Every structure is written in structure tokens, then in C-alpha cells.
């Protein structure tokens, strides 16, 4: 890609450590750590932590360029589990490069290391520490907060280096320098506003500067009020969509999604699901072509781990959509929740069952879980819905439980028969696992088909148990009804007695005429 088409955040990214601004102490600490690094060092990994846009990743890129090292980048947010960590980080942490051979020099950068923590990433941090212990190259990790409890184990083996929000004065100097180099001088109040409301995030300030210049070059009016919707730290997605679809220009569109704490693909789905509400039929194709382009960039980012493309994604999904929609003032009470997310939530249990079956198949057949799911699952389903004997053998071999059988077998009666035969298989297995001939562990010790009688007896006892439970419930229900009836009768009796007592009192108070004569 030519320099002319590069985002300004990439075009003006530092090429040596001396160009990093606002965090000089952190840069010095990183340089000292790197100069003293060895395979026997106590702190073989540097953990850079701090807010976004403070120069963590840029420092590592500048260090690699300054020292002539190959930089291998890996984003931990998309490489979460133990296997992925070992596969990617493990191979990259060995000596040697493609161009330099075994003596090639390399730095491994693991961005957003916070992303490998959590329930779905169990074992990820431990695997990373194992990689660090065997590493033959310097490893540098970045995180928002190194003192998160989940990173405790990593912190113990790391040189922790803190990055702080870049001071406003430093951001302002960079914005002025870029404006001069672009030969496009902006008013001092606009540059000051951008520096102030970047909140220490230099990358965001440069992005806002680029967007402002593009607006002016396009002939659209720009004034200081245009920039007043600066990024909120937390913004509800409903409000973000209102702001986005009612934006008057590219800049407002970009600012509309600032502060939305949401995964990139989830944000894309929200916009995809609701953009048509603000778009005419004539403009619909253009709007969704812009969204599709954003999706393509996101796919490239994830496949190639090239996070430099992220600014293109944000430009398209925010400002790009804002300038395409042509019915911005349409009133929407509530934006639609993405159907894809809802579908995934509804099918979570069935997908978990499918994955558990694939795991069992992969273990038995020595293939990957993905291959088992895509190449063999349909064959297993065919067998389970075919001959009952073969179906039972397959289910027993894969150790399928009742829920797994229900997800694959269409006929409930077939499931019942498979379970019976599997139970018999278990009994036969127990019989063969013992050498005590005098003991009978199963009805299979006798000839004949009395195993079926045992199954019938088992079902009979189960039916009796269910009938007993039903009878207890009915008796409890009847007892409660009788108690309610008795309670109502008692209440009526109390009321009747009270009324009788009142009547007797009134009779006593009445004076007979005979008493006066």
C-alpha cells in the first residue's frame, strides 16, 4: 500500500524509540530491559500496560526497527486457548527467521494479553508462561492493566512497565507537526480541542485530525461544535446507533461509536441489522457495500493478525455508513437485536452437544475436532439412525449420553433401544473384567434371553416409582384442598357465632312494656 493511502496513525508511527512521546521513562525502561535480555534472564518477558493510544505497541515496533529485529505480532484476543498459544507463540519464540536463518533476530509481540484470560481461555496464561520459560527470543506483551488478578502468574515472570496517558501538550505538538507536513494548517482552537478531548490517547487524536482534514478538503463545513461529541467512556449501543444514523458527516459518524464497549464483530452485526431502517431503496446497495467492506477488513485482520488495518474497519463501519444512509431523522423507538447473536444464544446447548460429540470422535479416530465435525458427523448420524445393532455399537464406542443421542437420533423409540443395549454392553464388560467365575455379575452368566426380563423388571419398577410419586403429589394436593375447605368452614362458624352473640346482646337491651306497669 502506498504512503498516500496509509492511515495517518501508520504513516506517522515512530520508527525509533526516540520518537515515542509522553512516556519517556517507560521507553528507557524498555530499552534497558532489552539490552540486558538473555535466555537465562530472570525477567524474560516485558509486560507493557496502560490505556489505549499511549505508545505501547508503537514502542515495540520502533524498538524492532531501531535494532534490526524481525517483529512477529500476535493478538491474544483472537488466540485465546492453550493450543493456539502453544502453536503460534511457541514456534515464534524459537530462534531463527525466514530471511536470516537460524541466526536471525526476532522479537515476539503479544498484544492485548488480557484477552487470554477468562473461562474460555483456561490454560492460556499457563501455556504462555511455559513458552516464556523455553523462549530463545525476547517476548513483549501489552495489556490495559497488568495488575489484574488474572495476570498474576504472568506478572511474576515479567518486567512490568507502565505507560500513562500522553499529556495534552505532547499531543498538541504532534498534531501541529502532522498539519505542517500535510500542508494543511488548522485553526489553533480546533487542534487544541482535539488534543484536550483525546484524553491522553494520541492515536485517537491523530484519527480525529485526519477525519477533520478530510471533511474540510471535501468542502463540508467544519466548526468547533462539530467535535463536541467526543468519546464517552461508556456508551449504550442504542444511543450509539441513534448518533451514528443521525450523523451529518463522516466525523460525527466516527465519533458516534466512540466509547462503545463491544466486540468488533458484534458492533458490525448491530449496524448491519439496523442500517436499512435509515436507508432508501436507491441507496441500500451502497450502504451495505460499505458494511461488507468493513467485514472484509475485519476478516483480513483476524486471518492475518494484521491489526494495522483496524482503522480502516472503524472508518467504514462508522463514518462510511454515516455518509451513505439518507434518511437520518427517521425516529426508531428500539433498534433490532442482531438475529445472528440471538440464533447463537438459542442454539448454544445444541452446539455444545455437537462439539462434545466431535471431541469424542476426534479422540477415538485421532483427527482434529474440526475434521470430525465437518467430515464424519453426518456418517455417525446415518449409522445411529440405521440398523439398531450397529447404532448401539457406535453409541457405546463413542460413549454418547442421552442428550447426545437425542441430538443425533430422530426416533425416540430407537434411542430407548440403543440405551437398553448399551446397558447390556456395560454388564457384559463388567463380566469380562473379573476372573471370579463363581460370582454372577450379569444376567448374561445364564443362557437364554433373560436379560430382556431384567430390562422389563427395571421398567416395571420405574413405572411403579413414577406412579408412587404421582400418588403422593395427588394426596398432597387433596390434603391441601381439604385444609382450605376446613379453614373456610371454621371462618364461617366464627362469623356465625359472632352474629348470634350480637343478636343476643341486642335482645337483652330491649325493655319490655310490662316493666313499666
Tens digit of each residue's pLDDT (9 = 90 or more) over 57-110: 999 999 999 999 999 887 765 454 445 555 655 555 555 544 444 445 889 898
Angle in degrees, 0-180, between the axes of helices 348-365 and 339-346, rounded to the nearest 10? 60
Q: Which of 147-151, 388-392, 412-416, 450-454 has the lowest mean pLDDT?
A: 450-454
Determine, yes or no, domain membership for 184.
Answer: yes
Instruction: Give the CA radius of gyration of the chain.
Output: 36
Determine, yes or no, domain membership for 502.
Answer: no
Percent of the chain residues topping a pLDDT of 90: 18
| Distance of alpha carbon 74 from alpha carbon 307, whole angstroms | 9
pLDDT at 233: 40
pLDDT at 95: 53
pLDDT at 328 over 60: yes
pLDDT at 447: 46
48 and 119 in a single domain? The answer is yes
Contact 365, 379 (CB under 8 A): no
Query: Which CA distances in Å does 441 have to 211, 221, 377, 462?
Result: 79, 89, 35, 22
State the Cα torsion 144-148-154-160 to the nearest 10°. Answer: 60
pLDDT at 480 over 80: yes
Determine, yes or no, domain membership for 325.
Answer: yes
Which residues does 477 contact at the CB level (< 8 Å), separation at least 6?
none
246 and 377 in a single domain? The answer is no
Model confidence at 45, pLDDT cuts 50, 70, 90, reads very high
Closest CA to 434 of 425, 422, 442, 424: 442
pLDDT at 347: 62
360 and 414 in a single domain? The answer is yes
- CATH no. for residue 79? 3.40.50.300
Q: In what order do the strands lie in the sheet with 106-111?
A: 70-75, 106-111, 139-143, 45-49, 158-162
Give the range of the structural domain holding residue 387, as residue numbers without chain letter.
348-445
| Distance of alpha carbon 152 from alpha carbon 463, whole angstroms | 55
195 and 318 in a single domain? The answer is yes
118 and 175 in a single domain? The answer is no
Place of cell 442500517: 275
DSSP, collapsed to helix, strand or coil, labels residue 234 as: coil
pLDDT at 232 over 50: no
Determine, yes or no, domain membership for 432.
Answer: yes
| Distance of alpha carbon 257 from alpha carbon 244, whole angstroms | 7
Once rounded to an integer, what is the mean pLDDT over residues 507-515?
Answer: 54
55 and 154 in a single domain? The answer is yes
pLDDT at 194: 86
pLDDT at 326: 86
Mean pLDDT of the chain: 80
Cα atoms in the 13 Å half-sphere on the side-chain side of 376: 19
Determine, yes or no, domain membership for 513.
Answer: no
320 and 356 in a single domain? The answer is no
Percent of the chain residues topping a pLDDT of 70: 78
89 and 9 in a single domain? The answer is yes
Q: In sequence order, what E strands does 78-176 have? A: 106-111, 139-143, 158-162
Q: Which of 216-225, 270-279, 317-326 has the lowest mean pLDDT?
A: 216-225
The residue out of 135, 162, 189 marking a domain boundary is: 162
361 and 301 in a single domain? The answer is no
pLDDT at 433: 57
Contact 225, 248 (CB under 8 A): no
Q: Which of 261-265, 330-334, 386-390 has the lowest mean pLDDT?
A: 330-334
Model confidence at 18, pLDDT cuts 50, 70, 90, reads very high
Which residues does 189 contact at the CB level (< 8 Å), separation at least 6?
224
Per the model's pLDDT, the better-predicted residue between 169 and 113 turns out to be: 169
Q: What are the residues facing 74 on neighbouring strands?
A: 110
Once rounded to an integer, what is the mean pLDDT over residues 355-372?
Answer: 84
DSSP, collapsed to helix, strand or coil, labels residue 45 as: strand
Helix, strand and coil in the chain, % to nearest 5: 65, 5, 30
| Distance of alpha carbon 74 from alpha carbon 13, whole angstroms | 19
pLDDT at 252 over 50: yes
| Distance of alpha carbon 305 from alpha carbon 61, whole angstroms | 15
Query: Which CA distances in Å does 512 have to 179, 415, 502?
Result: 115, 89, 19
Once rounded to an integer, what is the mean pLDDT over residues 449-476?
Answer: 77
pLDDT at 217: 74
State the Cα torsion 186-192-193-194 to the nearest 10°. Answer: 70
Cell of 317: 463501519
324 and 359 in a single domain? The answer is no
The residue out of 114, 132, 162 marking a domain boundary is: 162
The residue out of 389, 422, 445 marking a domain boundary is: 445
Determine, yes or no, domain membership for 341.
Answer: no
158 and 172 in a single domain? The answer is no
33 and 128 in a single domain? The answer is yes
Phi, psi of 101 (to 5 degrees): 70, -155
Model confidence at 312, pLDDT cuts 50, 70, 90, reads confident
Q: What are the residues facing 101 on neighbouring strands?
A: 97
Q: Which of 169-178, 300-309, 375-384, 462-471 has the lowest mean pLDDT?
A: 300-309
Q: For Cα atoms 70, 71, 72, give the angle at the middle one, nearest 5 degrees.
A: 120
Place of cell 485465546: 80
Domain count, the chain: 3
Determine, yes or no, domain membership for 516.
Answer: no
Determine, yes or no, domain membership for 173.
Answer: yes
Q: What is the 3-state secondary structure (H, E, C) of 489-512?
A: HHHHHHHHHHHHHHHHHHHHHCCC
pLDDT at 67: 93
Cα atoms in the 13 Å half-sphere on the side-chain side of 177: 14
Amino acid at each position: 500500500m502506498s504512503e498516500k493511502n496509509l492511515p495517518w496513525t501508520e504513516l506517522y508511527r515512530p520508527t525509533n524509540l526516540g520518537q515515542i512521546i509522553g512516556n519517556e521513562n517507560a521507553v528507557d525502561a524498555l530499552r534497558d530491559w532489552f539490552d540486558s535480555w538473555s535466555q537465562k534472564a530472570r525477567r524474560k518477558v516485558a509486560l507493557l500496560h496502560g490505556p489505549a493510544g499511549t505508545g505501547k505497541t508503537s514502542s515495540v515496533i520502533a524498538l524492532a526497527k531501531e535494532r534490526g529485529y524481525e517483529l512477529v505480532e500476535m493478538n491474544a484476543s483472537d488466540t485465546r486457548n492453550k493450543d493456539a498459544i502453544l502453536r503460534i507463540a511457541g514456534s515464534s519464540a524459537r530462534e531463527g527467521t525466514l530471511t536470516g536463518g537460524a541466526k536471525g533476530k526476532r522479537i515476539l509481540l503479544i498484544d492485548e494479553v488480557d484477552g487470554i484470560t477468562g473461562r474460555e481461555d483456561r490454560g492460556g496464561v499457563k501455556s504462555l508462561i511455559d513458552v516464556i520459560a523455553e523462549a530463545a527470543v525476547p517476548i513483549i506483551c501489552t495489556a490495559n492493566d497488568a495488575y489484574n488478578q488474572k495476570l498474576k502468574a504472568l506478572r511474576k515472570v515479567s518486567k512490568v512497565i507502565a505507560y500513562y496517558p500522553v499529556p495534552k501538550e505532547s499531543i498538541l505538538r504532534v498534531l501541529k507537526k502532522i498539519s505542517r507536513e500535510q500542508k494543511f494548517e488548522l485553526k489553533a482552537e480546533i487542534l487544541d480541542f482535539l488534543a484536550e478531548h483525546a484524553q491522553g490517547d494520541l492515536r485517537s487524536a491523530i484519527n480525529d485530525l485526519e477525519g477533520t482534514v478530510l471533511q474540510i478538503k471535501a468542502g463540508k463545513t467544519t466548526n468547533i461544535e462539530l467535535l463536541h461529541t467526543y468519546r464517552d467512556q461508556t456508551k449504550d449501543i442504542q444511543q450509539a446507533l441513534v448518533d451514528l444514523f443521525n450523523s451529518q458527516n463522516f466525523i460525527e459518524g466516527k465519533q458516534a461509536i466512540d466509547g462503545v464497549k463491544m466486540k468488533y464483530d458484534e458492533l458490525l452485526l448491530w449496524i448491519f441489522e439496523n442500517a436499512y431502517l435509515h436507508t432508501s431503496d436507491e441507496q441500500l446497495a451502497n450502504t451495505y457495500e460499505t458494511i461488507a467492506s468493513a467485514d472484509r477488513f475485519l476478516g483480513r485482520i483476524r486471518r492475518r493478525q494484521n491489526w494495522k488495518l483496524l482503522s480502516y474497519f472503524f472508518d467504514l463501519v462508522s463514518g462510511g455508513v454515516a455518509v451513505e444512509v439518507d434518511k437520518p431523522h427517521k425516529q426508531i423507538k428500539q433498534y433490532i437485536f442482531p438475529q445472528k447473536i440471538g440464533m447463537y444464544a438459542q442454539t448454544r446447548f445444541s452446539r455444545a452437544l455437537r462439539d462434545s460429540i466431535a471431541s469424542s470422535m476426534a479422540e477415538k479416530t485421532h483427527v482434529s475436532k474440526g475434521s470430525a465435525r465437518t467430515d464424519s458427523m453426518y456418517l455417525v448420524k446415518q449409522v445411529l439412525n440405521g440398523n439398531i445393532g450397529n447404532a448401539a455399537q457406535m453409541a457405546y464406542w463413542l460413549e454418547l449420553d442421552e442428550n447426545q443421542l437425542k441430538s443425533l437420533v430422530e426416533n425416540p423409540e430407537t434411542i430407548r433401544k440403543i440405551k437398553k443395549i448399551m446397558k447390556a454392553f456395560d454388564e457384559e464388560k463388567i463380566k469380562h473384567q473379573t476372573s471370579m467365575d463363581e460370582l454372577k455379575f450379569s444376567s448374561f452368566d445364564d443362557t437364554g434371553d433373560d436379560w430382556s426380563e431384567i430390562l422389563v423388571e427395571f421398567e416395571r419398577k420405574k413405572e411403579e416409582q413414577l406412579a408412587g410419586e404421582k400418588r403422593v403429589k395427588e394426596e398432597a394436593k387433596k390434603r391441601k384442598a381439604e385444609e382450605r375447605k376446613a379453614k373456610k368452614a371454621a371462618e364461617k362458624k366464627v362469623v356465625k357465632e359472632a352474629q348470634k352473640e350480637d343478636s343476643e346482646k341486642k335482645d337483652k337491651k330491649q325493655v319490655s312494656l310490662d316493666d313499666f306497669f
